[in-house]
Amino acid sequence: MAKILLAAFVLFCVAGQDSKFGRSYLGKAPPEIVATKDQWLNAPEGLKLGALKGKVVWLEFGFLKCAPCRKMMPVMQKWHTDFGAKGLVVVDIDDGGVDDLDEVQKEVAAQKTGYAVLWDKDSKNCLTYGVEVFPRAYLIGVDGTVIWEGLPNEKLEEIEKLMQAEFAKVKK
């Protein structure tokens, strides 16, 4: 029995490494975000990835009690402020399986968050994307395909270079 459990654990670890802690969409269009309008903060009509084609999209999954996610919040705000006019749309998907909507609303108001935040009720989008580790992020290019994916905290310089290259493709 111990050998079976060990084999299962090793297989789980290898599968987790291959998936990079979430489903890979590199070079492909990611799944559409599914949510009702009342789950969106700072985007009253909601957002659809398909409608954002032609823009650069930073799509990040996290939750409030996640320390690495909290480190990314000021970065996302800075990107929203500095690069929004260049064509960047920042979308933060908060795992509603962990956080209550009220908590997320209070945090968005307290931090004066300017970018779109989705409270992902029942973790539907997190599950669709197979998010296993937070924060998990995707950089979507102007053509609607993922050009970078992974855990962003240690890759900010690389990500910003990719963003800058995509901004040159945004039609004004």
- The token duo for 167 is 């901004």
Domain assignment present for 2: no
Report the domain count for the chain: 1
CA angle 54, 59, 61 (to 5 degrees): 170
- Domain extent, residue 32, equals 23-167
Domain assignment present for 29: yes
In tens digits, the chain (172 residues) has pLDDT values of: 444 333 333 333 333 333 567 899 999 999 999 999 999 999 989 999 999 999 999 999 999 999 999 999 999 999 999 999 999 999 999 999 999 999 999 999 999 999 999 999 999 999 999 999 999 999 999 999 999 999 999 999 999 999 999 999 998 7
Domain assignment present for 15: no
Give the DSSP H/E element, type plus range, for residue 91: strand 88-95
pTM metric for this prediction: 0.88
Domain with 87 in it: what CATH number?
A: 3.40.30.10
- Residue 150: burial class (beta carbons within 10 Å; 0-12, 13-18, 19+): buried
Residue tagged 């998990």 (tokens): 136
Domain assignment present for 40: yes
